Structure formats: structure tokens, C-alpha cells
Amino acid sequence: MIVHDIRPLLAPTISILCAILIFWRGENTYLRRIFSISAAILKWVIVLSMLPGSLKGVIYVTELIPFTPGISFLLRVDALGMFFGMVSSTLWIITTVYAIGYMEGEHARKRFFAFFALCVSTTVGLAFAGNLFTLFVFYEMLTVSTYPLVIHEETPEAMKAGRKYLVYTLTGGSLILFATALVFYQANTVAFDQPGILSINSGVGILVVIFAMFMLGFGVKAAIMPLHGWLPSAMVAPTPVSALLHAVAVVKAGVFGITRVVYNIFGVSLLKEMASKGADVASVLMWAAMITIVLGSLMALMQDGFKKRLAYSTISQLSYIVLGVSLLTPDSVMGGIVHIVNQAFMKITMFFVAGAIYKKTHKKNISEMHGIGHKMPITMATFTIASFGMMGLPPTAGFISKWYLSLGALAADKPIAVIVLLLSSFLNAIYFLPIVYRAYFMKPLDGDTTMDEAHWTFLVPCIICALYTIGLGLFAELPFVPLELSRIAVTQFFR
């Protein structure tokens, strides 16, 4: 059922308004906080108000502005879009609270919060994009509005990272633009309302080219190896940025784009048809994802910087989702989609912890974190929960996604994927557990074990995310939880 509604437009607009207000009166700390938090909550409420409808399969549509015959700026909230929109708007509230604490005393806070709001706005717009064209527009806007956040420190290192980020993502964006134009030329539409708009009549060759361009383009943000180079260097950004953008919004935008392309532009049946004609592009994507999972984990092992390790872990975890998408079975996609939210919460916990530790002790490297668990027990407890989630131990959320991914892999008759997932769990354990061990079971270097917990603005977000990680694992099958939404999304793909 399609409902024309203004709410899909309202959600991104609120953050844009918030950004404008902050630009206008952002010098005042209190006004800035009020703007940020109230916009975050308002947006969350708006997105939430659409959730019951989405769960019933309702699709909300706002047609904004015509662009050319056949293409318009279109916002369309289907289950997948709702899913991603919900994730980003929820995490925005949490991260805003965290950022207010974290950015205390930092420079250029006005700019920071304004662009922060702008990024979230584009992310939600991207989630609600109703066609490839709108998706691309928001995708590019996301790139541009993230740049000031990446280089927030304005150090030479940050500038270099920013440049690298732009080079990678804009090149990717160009490829997407090219591919979008090709799709429009072939199909005369770019809308997401069908499970696949291209047809085999276009010729296998051109389809492969389009697919490759899309994967290279979105693969940059999804950090599929070897396109991941920007992600670790972008970790110079302040922690809330790394947390929300580089673990959630930006990278997930890439993954989200891949999902859209695979299921709404190509469609399962076309990809299977292509595979039968010798162009098994989905398998190529699957292999790329599997290689990234393993290599990413291995590289994470070698990192000493806390945030760097998390970054490589992100690279590895993102490919879970890509793997799920590329397997082309309902269960695997469901596992992949639900991992968007699971990974987001788990990874954001970890980043929050990293930020809290850095703010409290100015320690960036893992090798310095002896006994940090004595000083900051609650913080480290949440970290521990998140690492269990990363490993996929029941009853955490990570287990749910791995379970469905494995089911899907078996259904697709690709047992190798299951092996890779298990291997990854093992590697996750190798690189996360030593941190936990070091934090709790080793004596601090200075011998000082008095408790010195982080400020509540740090703690509360950590705890909420950690609780979610457990909660989703325990109550996965209850109504109103992500799994149900992802199931609806999957039924829309496999119509």
C-alpha cells in the first residue's frame, strides 16, 4: 500500500533546519545544545511514527521536485529505507548526547554540530531515497558534508586524511553517476519500486559493466578491500564522528547502496539469469566480501591504535552485510540487513568507549591500556559486551545476524561462507579479547587502581548501546524489533 505523506520529507528537513539554526546562533553553547538535541528527538519521533505503518507493509512516498522526464527527487520509505532511517535517527540522539560531552572544550564546535546535523540529514535522506538518482544526490551530499568533520582537527594529518577520503569517495561517486546514467539509458527509469528494473535484454556485457561500476562506487564507502584505504586514516576525526559516521552513517550508506542496487536495480532473478549465462557477478561480490572479512580481521590484529583496530574491524564487519546481500537468499539478506543495526550498535559502543578512555586518560593505544578496567569498570563492561557481540556469542545481537547469515549461506549452497563466518568469529575473539584481558587482568602501569569513571554523557550512551546489544539477542523474535522489519524488507525483494 502506498501512502503519500509529508513525513519522509520532514525527517531530513529537520536536521537541515537544525544545521541552519546552529550556523546562525551556534556560538551560544546552550542554544546549540537545545537545537541539536531537540532536532534529534523530533526527527526520531517522526521516523518512529512511520514505523507501525512500515511494519504493516505501508510505503510512504513524497515526490519532491521533478528533475527530468522520468526522474524526480523522490522520497519513498519502504521497509529497508525505514530500517536504515530508524537506525541512523536513533543513533543520532545517542551520539549527540555523547558528542556534547566529548566536544567540551574543543575548537570550532559550531561548525562541528552544524555539519553533524547536516550529515545525519543526508543519511536519512539517503535511507528514504526513492530512486537511484535521489540516492546518488544524497550520497554525494553526504561525502561533502562529512569532509569538515573528518578534518575537524585541522592538523596536517587530518587534512591528509580528508584529502584521501575525498579522493576515494568522489571517484566512487563518479562511477555511481556513470552507472546511474547507464541504468537510466537501459531501463528508462531508476526507481526503486520494483525488485529489479534492468533486463537481460540489455546484454550481459553492459550489465556486468554497470554492476562492476556500482560495486566499485558503493564499495568505496562500504570499504570492500581494496577500496578501504580511506577508512583507517579517517579515524583522525573526533570520536563521535568516527562513531556515528565511520561506523554507521557513511559506511552503511555504501552497504545500503549495494543492497539497493542488487535487489532493486538488478533483482535476484536477473542476477541468477546472468549467473546462468556465465556472468556470476554476485559470486564475485561474495568472494570479495569474504576476502575482506578475513583480511580485515587479520589487519585489525596488527593494529595497536585502539581506533585503528576498530576501523579494521569495521571493514571486516561491513562485509558481513555485503556477504549476506550477495548470497541472494532470503535468510542471508535478512541476516545482512539486521546486521546493519546490530553492527552499528556494537561498533558505536566500542567507539564510545575508545573516546571515553581517550578523554579520561589520553591513551590512544591498546598497549597502554593495562588495567583500565579497574579505573573505568562500567565503560569496559560495555566494551566487553560489545566484543562478545562482535564475536557472535549468544545471546548477543551479533549471534542473530550470524545465525541468519549462516542459514542463508547453507540455503545458497555456499558452505564456504559459513566457514568464513566462523573463522571471522575466531579472529574477532583474538583481537578483542586481549583488550578485555589487558583491561581487567593486568595491573595498571602506574599501579593506580582507584575508580575514575567517565562523565555521565559518556556512560549513558555506552550503557544504552550495550543493553541493546544484549536485548536484541534475547528478544530477537518479539514484534517491533529490527528483525521483523528486515523480514518485511526481504519479502519486498523476493516478490
CB of 12 to another protein, least distance (A): 12
CB of 164 to another protein, least distance (A): 12
How many other CB atoms sit within 10 Å of the CB of residue 45? 12
CB of 91 to another protein, least distance (A): 25
How many other CB atoms sit within 10 Å of the CB of residue 164? 17
CA distance 371 to 295: 29
CA distance 343 to 390: 8
Interface stretch with another protein, choices 88-96, 168-176, 231-239, 482-490 (CB under 8 A):
168-176
Interaction of residue 306 with another protein, rule CB under 8 A: no
Interaction of residue 167 with another protein, rule CB under 8 A: yes
Smaller CB distance to another protein: residue 114 or 346? 114
Smaller CB distance to another protein: residue 159 or 411? 159
Site for another protein in 128-157 (CB under 8 A): 136-137, 140-141, 143-144, 147-148, 151, 154
Count residues binding another protein (CB under 8 A): 31
Interface stretch with another protein, choices 67-75, 78-86, 93-101, 302-310 (CB under 8 A):
67-75
CB 281 within 8 A of CB 211: yes
Residue in 42, 159, 208, 284 binding another protein, rule: CB under 8 A: 159
Cα distances (Å, whole numbers) of residue 161 to 49, 150, 165, 360, 484: 39, 7, 6, 25, 39
Residue in 171, 283, 361, 457 binding another protein, rule: CB under 8 A: 171
CB of 303 to another protein, least distance (A): 27
CA distance 58 to 1: 5
Could you check whether the bond before residue 377 is cis, i.e. omega within 30 degrees of 0?
no
Interaction of residue 177 with another protein, rule CB under 8 A: yes
Of 176, 164, 107, 167, give the one whose Cα is nearest residue 139: 176
Interaction of residue 65 with another protein, rule CB under 8 A: yes
Please give the grid coordinates belonging to residue 466. Answer: 550495550
Smaller CB distance to another protein: residue 172 or 482? 172
Smaller CB distance to another protein: residue 143 or 387? 143
CB of 202 to another protein, least distance (A): 12
User: Look-up: residue for cell 589487558?
Assistant: 438
CA distance 250 to 55: 25
Residue 393, sorted as left (phi over 0), alpha (psi -120 to 50) or beta, turns out to be: beta
Of 330, 356, 219, 195, give the one whose Cα is nearest residue 267: 195
| Contacts to another protein by CB under 8 A | 65-70, 73, 136-137, 140-141, 143-144, 147-148, 151, 154, 159, 163, 166-167, 170-171, 174, 177-178, 181-182, 184-185, 188
